[in-house]
């Protein structure tokens, strides 16, 4: 996601939080994810954020409507499973969706399938353990391949020809996914569309910076700052210092 935002908005300053102490969000309750998302939003707004990108399908499903209600003056860009373009592009009538359990359980996913999935077969997989492998930087190892093969091969056997990545971690393993599914399966990465929506809202709200701004990024994590810093170039195409955050009662974030 950050890569796509950088490509379209190279001069925008960015505040990036990785809540690594709580990932994966997928198995957590909707109330937990909602509480985490509200606390992260308050932290970002206190540091001058002018728009919030909820770069997590699970958090979008659990918390996006709640955040818009709590913070009515702030624009939010959330993640919506790309079932619509998948249904429009399938030739076999079968599409696959990779997401977390919480995304599949959320009202947002059900609404998207109801609106756009009529007439197609929608296959689902939660890819247990994949988020943790990606967080550790294992993008192509045997264990990561095994997780993906377990999810994807049954979809291929049922003739799926479009694959929706409904978790923002999953695009990091697109090269491996394409090795498994082959050239005849289209893989939909939502990041470019989310970046375009972010740019559109910045322009609509007259919040964009002028060309030539330095576009600096500040990185925060609730996990291991050294670990995230090592992963920044490979996963996000960035480099920089990472500030340690500490959760207080899972409801407030503090800088250590």
Spell out the residues 6+ positions from residue 204 whose beta carbon is closer than 8 angstroms to its own.
none
Look up residue 37 and give its two tokens.
């998302």
Nearest C-alpha neighbor of 132 from the set 22, 237, 242: 22
Catalytic residue among 56, 164, 195, 202: 56
How does 180-203 read in b/e, with b if 16+ C-beta sit within 10 Å? Answer: bbeeebbbbbbbeebbeebbebbe
Catalytic residue among 167, 191, 217, 245: 167
Burial of 173 (0-12, 13-18, 19+ CB in 10 A): buried
Look up residue 166 and give its two tokens.
């409904």
Nearest C-alpha neighbor of 113 from the set 123, 126, 101: 123
Look up residue 95 and give its two tokens.
């599409």
C-alpha to C-alpha distance for 52 and 154, rounded to whole angstroms: 37
Query: SS3 of 85, please?
Result: helix
127 in active site: no
Catalytic residues: 56, 167
């Amino acid at each position: 996601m950050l890569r796509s935002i950088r490509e379209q908005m190279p001069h925008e300053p960015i505040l990036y939080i990785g809540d690594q102490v709580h990932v994966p969000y997928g198995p957590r309750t909707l109330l937990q994810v909602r509480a985490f998302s509200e606390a992260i939003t308050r932290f970002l707004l206190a540091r001058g954020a002018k728009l919030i990108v909820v770069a997590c399908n699970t958090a979008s499903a659990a918390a996006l409507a709640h955040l818009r209600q709590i913070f009515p003056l702030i624009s939010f860009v959330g993640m919506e499973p790309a079932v619509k373009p998948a249904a429009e592009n399938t030739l076999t009538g079968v599409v696959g969706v990779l997401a977390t359990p919480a995304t599949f359980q959320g009202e947002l996913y059900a609404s998207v399938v109801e609106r756009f999935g009529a007439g197609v077969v929608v296959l689902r997989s939660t890819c247990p353990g994949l988020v943790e492998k990606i967080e550790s930087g294992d993008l192509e190892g045997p264990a990561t391949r095994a997780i993906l093969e377990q999810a994807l091969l049954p979809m291929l056997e049922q003739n799926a020809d479009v694959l929706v990545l409904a978790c923002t971690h999953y695009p990091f393993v697109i090269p491996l996914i394409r090795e498994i599914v082959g050239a005849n399966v289209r893989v939909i990465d939502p990041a470019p569309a989310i970046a375009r929506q972010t740019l559109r809202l910045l322009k609509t709200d007259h919040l964009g910076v002028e060309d030539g701004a330095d576009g600096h990024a500040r990185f925060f994590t609730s996990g291991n700052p050294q670990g995230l810093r090592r992963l920044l170039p490979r996963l996000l195409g960035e480099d920089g210092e990472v500030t340690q955050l500490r959760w207080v009662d899972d409801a407030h974030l503090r800088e250590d």
